[in-house]
Structure 1
Amino acid sequence: MQTMITLIKGDITKMKVDAVVNAANSSLLGGGGVDGAIHRAGGPAILEECRQIRAKQGGCDTGEAVITTGGQLPAKYVIHTVGPVWNNGNKGEPELLAKCYHNSLQLAVEHGAKTIAFPNISTGVYRFPKPNAAEIAIKAVQQFLANDNNITEVYFVCFDDENYELYKEKLAVLP
């Protein structure tokens, strides 16, 4: 069965999916942008589980992912992944960003999630160039799905017009 990839302009905290991905920081304690929005909308249960993860393993390294409850979100789970801060591409940022998508999908599969929604990881305050980030995200998801058919639907949820148009353009040329 072919996995559907769907592009949406909107608010990831409203997505009715098994798992939403949070572009977290390494502390896992919430922050600005999508991270703050997910923590606010999901309520204290998410932060509590993040604190438990920190107590057990420290924070979360760049490119890695951890999973918590979705709290009050419509999603069952939140997968927190730490995207790379852009440093002119000289510190392995493209590979680390691809790992964010791969590791998030892997965690989703391990927890039985069939539907997953991604924000535009690292394109806000981490300054990853949006066209590059969109290309990496789409390619990483396609590569994962080529080898694993457990996920039935992947959503790219864009908050801003620029990312939405970039994804629309890049997804339109897919076979």
Structure 2
Amino acid sequence: MTRITLVEGDITAQQVDVVVNAAHSSLLGGGGVDGAIHRRGGPRILAECRELRASRYGRGLATGRAVATTAGDLPARWVVHTVGPVHLADEYEERAELLASCYRESLRVAAELGARTVAFPAVSAGIFGWPPADAARIALGTVAAVVAGREGGPEEVRFVLFGAEMYEVFAGVGRELGLTGQE
């Protein structure tokens, strides 16, 4: 059975099989989590992302999709890049489904890689403007639904939350949903 845990910290410092990147659709780096992963992970991540752009993802990675690269200099084996949606209240249903898809697709790619441990950031809850409590409900609810009863899934899905405020939001939603395992 998969454990879902929450930690406050730096996703680039996580010793896991897969670190999930809240990526820019270009796959070539950006701000926030994406920039931090590219900076700390070094040039090998960017080189593989450029190869992906030159082959399958000429127009970039679509929102809600996921793709893997090396983790470069990160203390992980792979980075799974996923593009979260920008929050727009008048397109909530469609965009909430895209956000849930980020988690489902990232877990699918991680499973294909044979990952036993996966670390997620709060996808779209930063500069993409998703309200943190709603982002937490979608993230935790989707991950819990995907891993429920799945044989051979990851041993741990860890949400690595930047700052005490985001951690507290996820912890509160985790309690509401009956999920525990905060560290």
Runs of 4+ in 1 over 3 A off after TM superposition: none
Please show how residues 80-119 of structure 1 align to structure 2 within 5 Å: 80-90=81-91, 92-119=94-121
Matched with 2:158 is: 155
1:24-173 matches, cutoff 5 A: 24-57=23-56, 58=58, 59-90=60-91, 92-149=94-151, 150-173=153-176
**How far has the Cα of 1:148 moved from its partner?**
2.3
Displacement of 1:93 in angstroms is 1.0
Q: How far off its partner does 1:89 sit? A: 4.9
Residues 128-168 of structure 1: CA deviation (Å, up to 9, x unaligned): 11111000000110111015232110000000222100111
Letter in 2 for 1:127: G
Cα distance between partner residues in 2 of 1:103 and 1:148: 15
Q: Does the CA-based 8 Å contact 2:19-2:120 persist in structure 1? A: yes
The one-letter amino acid of 1:157's match is V
Q: Give, in whole Å, the separation in 2 of the partners of 1:33 and 1:155.
A: 19
Match of 1:4 in 2: 3
Amino acid at match of 1:109: A
Give the superposition deviation at 1:125. 1.1
Q: Distance in 1 between matches of 2:19 and 2:148?
A: 21
Partner Cα distance (1:89, 1:107) in 2: 30
Question: Structure 1 21/89 Cα, relative in aligned 2: closer, same or farther at 3 Å?
Answer: farther
- Tell me the alpha carbon deviations over residues 99-128 of structure 1, each in whole angstroms, 9 at most, x when there is no partner: 000000000000110100000100111101
Q: C-alpha root-mean-square deviation of aligned residues, in Å?
A: 1.1
| Separation in structure 2 between the aligned mates of residue 135 and residue 89 of structure 1, nearest angstrom | 19
Partner SS for 1:61: coil
Percent identity of equivalent pairs: 53
Structure 2: stretches of 5+ with no match in the other structure: none
1:35 Cα deviation after fit: 0.4
SS in 2 for 1:7: strand
In the superposition, the TM-score normalised over structure 1's length comes to: 0.96
Deviates more, 1:47-56 or 1:161-170: 161-170
Question: Secondary structure of 2:16's partner?
Answer: coil
